[in-house]
Structure 1
Amino acid sequence: MPVRMQMEQLQRVASLCTALEWVTSCPDVSARDAVLRLIGEEVSATIQGVIYSIESERGASEAA
């Protein structure tokens, strides 16, 4: 994954984190819990994708 794509993924995480501010003011506890769970899953998946990409690139450059 090119660095540009990694940066886009990390910017997406930053946007999701900004959404947490909105979620914390949500009066509906069930909705807040559901949205928090979704945001957490998205953040985790995005970060894992970037980590995998960096580790793959590092492994490929070390093998060369």
Structure 2
Amino acid sequence: MGLTDATWRKASGSSEQGDACIELAFNVSIVAVRDSKDPNGPQIVITRDEFRQFANALKSL
């Protein structure tokens, strides 16, 4: 997946006041994560399984 053409989705907890937020883009094999305030900045690309493990770990906090 080329991230240039990716469709990014902002987290549902985001607001128009510029709160800290992430955006996600995904396909069948990867998830890309970036800072919504810096869309041209660094991006993290991980497998969907890695993202699932990460999300589950956050839920258990």
Over alpha carbons, which structure has the higher Rg?
1
State if a TM-score over 0.5 links the two structures.
no
Higher relative contact order (CA 8 A, sep 6+): 1
Counting strand residues as a fraction of each chain, which structure ranks higher?
Answer: 2
Counting helix residues as a fraction of each chain, which structure ranks higher?
Answer: 1
The alignment's TM-score, normalised by the length of structure 2, stands at 0.28
The alignment's TM-score, normalised by the length of structure 1, stands at 0.27
